């Protein structure tokens, strides 16, 4: 079998490394764009593919993402509707995300930003402490990663709530919500909002003025989904009005974040460069091999996303 690596933003061959290529048992790996015929390409590994990339591969059956998200692949106009798109499921990635989110939740609870500002002024002042039990966290998305984040926050003592599209059985200590009424109910009790949704037509722009207005005043946003979930001007207005006390942003509509973007120097925004957590090359390799095996056996690859749903 032949597999093509397709990306306009990343040198996938370098990113995946020689081990991945060696382990790709009985699969010849080539890079896009190919010279010559490409009718024997049945599998691709892609991240931000160029718009016309898949036009060249008429017999393509599956495209593997190198991450949990697949929005950048689904957005490619040349991707045929019958091609399977496969995400990575990596428990180590979920654990890493959980630590990242917990760091920001506790930073808000324990007022670390204020202490850092006080240190710069050599100002010694205790600010008083709030119990974890008094800081309610609402998580948008109760999937592979959202579930791990909610579970760990509950263990740390935070009232954890999570919102999904369909009803879910919530583990002990977590309150589950779903659908539009569920979102209203959750936001009304949320002080810290964590975005862990996939980017779909339904979720684009969900972090907006109306959403922030429904949260508890002085709340905090942890934005680790996709940049297009956020209406940037609405965030700046919510910070200005005091509706939100601060925000941690890891993902942006345009990455890297442009020089002189107002987020860079905002005193109540923490910017990280889309680095909350990444999947390991081992996990990408395992997904890739399982996909190739399924294609050979004529089965649907595991972790194929639902093309109609968009995740």
* Catalytic (active-site) positions: 226, 274
How far is it, in rounded angstroms, from Cα 67 to Cα 48?
Answer: 11
Is residue 226 a contact residue for ligand NDP (CB under 6 A)? yes
Q: Does residue 29 contact residue 21 with C-beta atoms inside 8 Å?
A: yes
Alpha-carbon dihedral 22, 85, 8, 48, rounded to 10 degrees: -130
How far is it, in rounded angstroms, from Cα 83 to Cα 62?
Answer: 5
Longest dimension (CA), the chain: 70
Among 46, 47, 67, 159, binds ligand OXD (CB under 6 A): 67
For residue 139, give the 3-state DSSP assignment.
strand
Applying CB under 6 A, the site for ligand OXD has a residue count of 5
Site for ligand NDP in 67-86 (CB under 6 A): 67-69
Is residue 274 a contact residue for ligand NDP (CB under 6 A)? yes
Is residue 44 a contact residue for ligand OXD (CB under 6 A)? no
Site for ligand OXD in 204-263 (CB under 6 A): none
164: partner contacted, choices ligand NDP, ligand OXD, none (Cβ within 5-8 A by kind): ligand NDP
Peptide bond into 256 cis (omega under 30): yes
Is residue 149 a contact residue for ligand NDP (CB under 6 A)? no
Which of 97/113 has CB closer to ligand NDP?
97
How far is it, in rounded angstroms, from Cα 101 to Cα 132?
Answer: 14
Is residue 197 a contact residue for ligand NDP (CB under 6 A)? yes
How far is it, in rounded angstroms, from Cα 175 to Cα 163?
Answer: 9
The footprint of ligand NDP (CB under 6 A) covers: 67-69, 141-146, 163-166, 168, 196-200, 202-203, 224-226, 250-251, 274, 276-277, 311
């Amino acid at each position: 079998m032949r597999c093509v690596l397709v990306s306009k933003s990343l040198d996938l061959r370098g990113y995946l490394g020689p081990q991945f290529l060696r382990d790709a048992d009985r699969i010849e790996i080539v890079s896009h764009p190919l010279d010559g015929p490409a009718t024997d390409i049945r599998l691709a590994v892609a991240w931000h593919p160029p718009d016309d990339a898949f036009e060249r591969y008429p017999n393509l059956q599956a495209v593997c993402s190198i991450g949990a998200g697949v929005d950048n692949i689904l957005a490619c106009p040349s991707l045929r509707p019958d091609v399977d798109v496969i995400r990575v499921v990596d428990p180590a990635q979920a654990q890493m995300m959980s630590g990242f989110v917990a760091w920001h939740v506790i930073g808000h609870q324990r007022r670390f930003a204020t202490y850092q500002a006080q240190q710069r002024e050599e100002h010694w002042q205790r600010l008083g402490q709030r119990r974890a039990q008094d800081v309610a966290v609402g998580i948008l998305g109760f999937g592979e990663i959202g579930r791990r984040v909610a579970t760990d926050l509950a263990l740390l003592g935070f009232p954890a709530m999570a919102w999904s599209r369909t009803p879910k059985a919530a583990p002990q200590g977590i309150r589950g919500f779903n659908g539009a009424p569920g979102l209203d109910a959750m936001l009304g009790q949320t002080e810290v909002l964590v975005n862990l949704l996939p980017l779909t037509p339904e979720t684009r722009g969900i972090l907006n003025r109306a959403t922030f207005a429904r949260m508890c005043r002085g709340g905090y946003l942890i934005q680790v989904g996709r940049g297009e979930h956020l209406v940037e001007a609405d965030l700046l207005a919510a910070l200005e009005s005091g509706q939100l006390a601060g925000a941690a942003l890891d993902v942006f509509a345009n990455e890297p974040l442009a020089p002189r973007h107002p987020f860079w120097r905002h005193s109540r925004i923490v910017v990280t460069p889309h680095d909350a957590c990444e999947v390991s090359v081992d996990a990408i390799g395992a997904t890739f091999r399982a996909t190739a095996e399924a294609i050979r056996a004529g089965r649907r690859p595991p972790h194929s996303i639902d093309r109609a749903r968009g995740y």
